[in-house]
Amino acid sequence: MRILSGIQPSGTMHIGNYLGAVKQWVDSQSPEAFYCVVDLHALTLEIEPSVLREQTTDCVASLLAAGLDPEICTLFIQSHVPYHARLSWLLECVSSYGELSRMTQFKEKAERQEGYRVGLLTYPVLMAADILLYSAALVPVGEDQRQHLELTRNIAERFNNRYGEIFAIPEGVQPPAAARVMDLQEPTRKMSKSISSPLGSIYLLDEPADIEKKIKKAVTDTENEVRFDWETKPGLSNLLEIFSSFEGSAPELIASRYTRYGDLKNDLAALVIEVLTPIAKRYRELRSDPVSLRTIVYQGAEKATEVAAPVYYRAADAMGLVQ
Ligand code: AMP
Ligand code: TRP
């Protein structure tokens, strides 16, 4: 089954990205899976060019360190395959201003700045192009991308109705637990690369001592009953979901093993450290060899182009562009 997903190179990867998306990517990799570092998306907010350059390579190394194998799946950088931007324009011409301005993520991000970039508004259309170019059946993403996925399906259906059956209609796939990892300090807000309290996010490359500190200081509640209940215990339930996702068992079951918050936090910290330490080690090895990383993504872009180019040309032809 064809799979496509993407991640922005706009900061260090946190366990929200890992559990919500990247772990699913690793678990479902196959020759039919395409994963991209969406550098064009990162341009929708102000970012220093030298920082974008570094973070794009960091992101490639993090994905490989987390377990993506370029011998099995295709890993590439979005801007290396020019058909993404080209199809995005065609899709902009079947999208409406109204539907784009209603996107929650757009409204949240636009609210925080004056004179936001037009790309911030059209960003989900570029994401639709990413997905539709590969005729993806499945798109593994965190919960925050559900609305963008729905928009992608609407755009694809509208295009197919107007111009002929060119695009496959994709489905979003979310993990059974941790589809929305919350900030450890403010458990009513999602863990985020852009806005986060210093102790609120655990990064893939955090030192063990920092991981331990962040989990120990995670906000819970003043009761002392270990129970999985998002309504009344968001902080504790967030820790239980993280635990559940790392361990692979149900959060209620994990809750039943503990009577004290402290014991739960200690065991969770040990588990997170056990999983992240080898990833951080592999990251440092991979990141020290940028030439090999570049070779991997160039080869990835070649494979991606073989799939994306014919779909782009069919869409352009269907719309009446002379071939
Ligand atoms: P981004 O960093 O915004 O490019 O997101 C990359 C992937 O991580 C997307 O599939 C997101 O849905 C997912 N993601 C981001 N933040 C979280 C979070 N706090 N919890 C779960 N998934 C997340
Ligand atoms: N918009 C996604 C995010 O911010 C990243 C993304 C871009 C993506 N293109 C995609 C995800 C295509 C899945 C498929 O997280």
Q: Which among 190, 214, 233, 265 is annotated as catalytic?
A: 190
User: Does any ligand 1 atom lie closer than 6 A to the CB of residue 61?
Assistant: no
**pTM of the entire structure?**
0.96
Domain boundaries, the chain: 3-178+290-319, 208-284
Side chain identity, residue 215 = I
Residues 6+ apart with CB under 8 A from 301: 76, 77, 80, 81
Tell how strand 138-140 and strand 74-77 pair up: unpaired
190 assigned to active site: yes
Mean pLDDT, residues 212-232 taken together:
95
**CB within 8 A of 22, min separation 6: which ones?**
7, 13, 63, 66
Query: If we measure between CA atoms, which residue out of 224, 241, 233 comes closest to residue 176?
Result: 241
pLDDT digits (tens, 9 = 90+) for 22-59: 999 999 999 999 999 999 999 999 999 999 999 999 99
- How far away, in angstroms, is 180 Cα from ligand 1 center? 8
Looking at the structure, give the CATH architecture of the domain made up of residues 208-284: Orthogonal Bundle (1.10)
Please name every residue paired with 190 in a beta bridge, in sequence order, or none if there are none: 182
Contact 203, 224 (CB under 8 A): no
Residue pLDDT, tens place only, 141-153: 999 999 999 999 9
Q: What separation in Å is there between the alpha carbon of 130 and the centre of ligand 1?
A: 16
pLDDT at 191: 95
**What pLDDT score was predicted for residue 162?**
98
Reported as a single tens digit per residue, the pLDDT across 63-90 is 999 999 999 999 999 999 999 999 999 9
Per-position DSSP letters for 278-292, written without gaps between them: HHHHHHHHHHT-HHH
pLDDT of 224:
86
5 close to ligand 2 (CB < 6 Angstrom) = yes
Determine the Cα–Cα distance for residues 184 and 271; give it in Å rounded to an integer.
16
23 flagged as catalytic: no
Q: Which of 36, 130, 152 to probe ligand 2 with, by most ligand atoms within 8 A of CB?
A: 130
Q: Specify the DSSP element, H or E, that contains 108.
A: helix 104-111
Q: What share of the chain is helix, strand, coil (3-state, %, to 5)?
A: 55, 5, 35
Nearest CA to ligand 1 atom 8: 17
CATH of 3-178+290-319, one of 1.10.1660.10, 3.30.1330.20, 3.40.50.1110, 3.40.50.620: 3.40.50.620
Ligand 1 pocket, mutate which of 144, 148, 203 (most atoms under 8 A from CB): 144
pLDDT bracket for residue 96 (50, 70, 90): very high
Asked if pLDDT for residue 126 goes beyond 80, the answer is: yes
Q: Is the CB of 135 under 6 A from ligand 1?
A: no
CA angle 79, 82, 85 (to 5 degrees): 85
User: Is residue 195's pLDDT more than 80?
Assistant: no
pLDDT-derived band of residue 193, with 50, 70 and 90 as boundaries? confident
